[in-house]
Amino acid sequence: MPDLVCSVCGQPADRTIKTRCFCERHFLSATHERKHTWRGYTLLIFGLIVFVGLVYFLDSAIKPVLTGSALLWAGVLMALVPAAIWMIFFYLQDRIEPEPKGFLLAVFLLGALLAAAVGSPLLENVFHISKWLYADTAATILGSILVVGFTQEFLKYAAVRYSVYRSSEFDEATDGVIYATAAGLGYATILNIQFVISNGGVALGSSVIRMAVVALAQASFAAITGYFLGRAKFEHEPLWWMPLGLTLAATANGLFNWLRGRVVQSGISLTSASTNPWMGLVLATVVAVLTTGFIIWLVRRDIHSALAEK
């Protein structure tokens, strides 16, 4: 009979979840529901809405006259806020439930690096998406899912899978979701910074809405992949498990991109073209709340079934 070893730390194991073995300590962590994770999502969503409201209000009340590099830096600073809200939350709750911040920051930076070095160059210079993505509805939906969605979600997945995933710090049921969200926010931060730079600075009031939308969306879709990653680490999943997770995340990503375009431009009529960026924020908030709620439900269900099994 082979020795049973913990699939996290390799120590002798005396507990199992389905077909995976765990030592006592890692059985407890694998079935631990980190309540603060969900508080982190609530805070991120709520914090972003407050942030958007604040910048929008200040912008229209003060009408700051920023030009040149001041405008550029203000935009870049704003792009960093969504990730900062998320990170500050984890630093503040450190006393209650320590989470290795080094890894959280590393995964965030890796997500950002992959977006800047691989994702954006690939989509722009190899796939040339700006030339055809919005040509017609079919191109938008298929291209947003198969090209943009898969590229972005795969890179966020890679940022977690080839870093912290292999480490013994990845030992809790919710870790996949937490680290994937960090990667998603890293990706979003680069998209937002690139948006600011390519426009040579941006109107603060209207672009803050766009930034919050990008952050909420990229974090939500990454969380889907994160759930699949967490399950893959703690349970033996079939070969199609991760591809399924990535396909779901890429499909959600692509459909969102198409739908956002539709709702933002819903004000278009024959005589006047007006866009309403607020509709995009409403959509992103709804998507983030629904995705988070669904993932919370899934993780809880997994924990209950693991505990019921022993």
Q: Tell me the Ramachandran region of residue 201: left when phi exceeds 0, alpha when psi lies from -120 to 50, beta otherwise.
A: left
- Residue 188 binds Zn ion (CB under 5 A): no
- Residue 20 binds Zn ion (CB under 5 A): no
Q: How far is the CB of 2 from Zn ion (least distance, A)?
A: 17
- Residue 84 binds Zn ion (CB under 5 A): no
- Residue 8 binds Zn ion (CB under 5 A): yes
- Residue 9 binds Zn ion (CB under 5 A): yes
- Residue 15 binds Zn ion (CB under 5 A): no
- Those residues with Cβ within 8 angstroms of residue 184's Cβ, 6 or more apart along the chain or in another chain: 111, 156, 218, 219, 220, 221, 222, 223
Q: Which is nearer to Zn ion, 11 or 266 (CB)?
A: 11
- Residue 30 binds Zn ion (CB under 5 A): no
- Residue 23 binds Zn ion (CB under 5 A): yes
- Residue 81 binds Zn ion (CB under 5 A): no
Q: How far is the CB of 172 from Zn ion (least distance, A)?
A: 12
Task: Please pick, from the candidates 15, 26, 36, 156, the single residue that binds Zn ion as defined by CB under 5 A.
Answer: 26
The stretch among 10-18, 69-77, 131-139, 159-167 that binds Zn ion (CB under 5 A) is 10-18
C-alpha closest to that of 298 among 218, 230, 206:
230
Q: Residue 4: exposed, middle, or buried by beta-carbon count in 10 A (0-12, 13-18, 19+)?
A: middle
Cβ atoms of 220 and 188 closer than 8 Å: no
Q: Which is nearer to Zn ion, 9 or 296 (CB)?
A: 9
Q: Which is nearer to Zn ion, 4 or 109 (CB)?
A: 4
Tokens read off for 281 = 């924020």
Q: Which is nearer to Zn ion, 15 or 36 (CB)?
A: 15
Q: How far is the CB of 8 from Zn ion (least distance, A)?
A: 5
Cβ atoms of 218 and 250 closer than 8 Å: no
Q: Which is nearer to Zn ion, 128 or 236 (CB)?
A: 236
Counting other chains too, the contacts that 134-140 makes at CB distance below 8 Å and 24 or more residues apart are 134/261, 137/258, 140/257, 140/258, 140/261
The CB-nearest residue to Zn ion is 6
- Residue 5 binds Zn ion (CB under 5 A): no
The stretch among 7-15, 71-79, 151-159, 201-209 that binds Zn ion (CB under 5 A) is 7-15
Task: Please pick, from the candidates 6, 48, 114, 216, the single residue that binds Zn ion as defined by CB under 5 A.
Answer: 6
The stretch among 21-29, 106-114, 245-253, 270-278 that binds Zn ion (CB under 5 A) is 21-29
Q: Which is nearer to Zn ion, 23 or 55 (CB)?
A: 23
Q: What is the rounded CA–CA span in Å between residue 49 and residue 30?
A: 33
Binding region for Zn ion (CB under 5 A): 6, 8-9, 11, 23, 26
